[in-house]
């Protein structure tokens, strides 16, 4: 599909951070498309080193992720999103933070294109980096570096 310049600019303008999600389930095909868009992002020297981990609201891994990342006051840093995609890179990444930022931006744009809301969440970086024990609790290899997460879902009507 070829987008016209106005369509492309509309998509960029449409994308915004969503922090209130409905309970509506997100289609697995949409999650696949979002992940594919993320993994299509440019990366330094062609070293595609990103690994995406998807957490669904009704699964144990999701609950563990929420518990590990919640603030001291118990606030859910993922805003109750039905899907969380954790973005990590392995040791092959040349510039992990920049490569990871491109992956996350592609995912957010894809979510907007599909009519979903998304929000870039940085707090997992503080929780998991240099903490292989915590990563193992959510079944992520201890040597991976967490770049961030994306909360995905349908925006709650206001």
How high is the pLDDT of residue 130?
A: 77
Residues β-bridged to residue 87: 52, 148
What CATH number has the domain bearing residue 68? 3.40.109.10
Residue 6 in any domain: the answer is: no
Residue 62 lies in domain: 19-153
Chain segment 71-99, per-residue pLDDT in tens: 777 788 999 999 999 999 988 888 989 99
Residue 132 in any domain: the answer is yes
141 within some domain: yes
Residue 27 lies in a domain: yes
Per-residue pLDDT at 145: 93
Count of structural domains, the chain:
1
Does 17 have pLDDT greater than 90? no
| Helix, strand or coil, per DSSP, at residue 56 | strand
Give the helix/strand (H/E) hosting 36.
Answer: helix 28-39
7 part of a folded domain: no
Residue 2 lies in a domain: no
Does residue 44 lie in a domain region? yes
The yes-or-no verdict on residue 118 having pLDDT over 70 is yes
Q: What is the CA radius of gyration of the chain?
A: 15
Asked whether residue 158 is assigned to any structural domain, the reply reads: no
Who wins on pLDDT, 27 or 8? 27
Q: For tokens 């996350």, name the residue.
A: 104
Is-contact 106 40, C-beta < 8 A? yes
């Amino acid at each position: 599909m070829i987008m016209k310049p106005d369509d492309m600019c509309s998509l960029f303008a449409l994308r915004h951070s969503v922090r209130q999600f409905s309970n509506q389930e997100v289609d697995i095909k949409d999650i696949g498309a979002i992940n594919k868009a993320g993994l299509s992002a440019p990366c330094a020297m062609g070293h595609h080193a990103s690994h995406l981990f998807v957490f669904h609201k009704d699964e144990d891994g999701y609950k563990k992720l929420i518990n590990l990342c919640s603030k001291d006051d118990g606030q859910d840093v993922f805003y109750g999103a039905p899907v969380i995609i954790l973005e990590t890179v392995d040791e092959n990444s040349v510039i992990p933070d920049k490569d990871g930022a491109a992956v996350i931006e592609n995912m957010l744009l894809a979510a907007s294109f599909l009519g979903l809301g998304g929000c870039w969440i940085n707090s997992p970086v503080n929780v998991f980096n240099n903490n292989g024990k915590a990563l193992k609790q959510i079944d992520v290899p201890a040597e991976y570096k967490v770049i961030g997460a994306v909360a995905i879902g349908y925006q709650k009507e206001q």
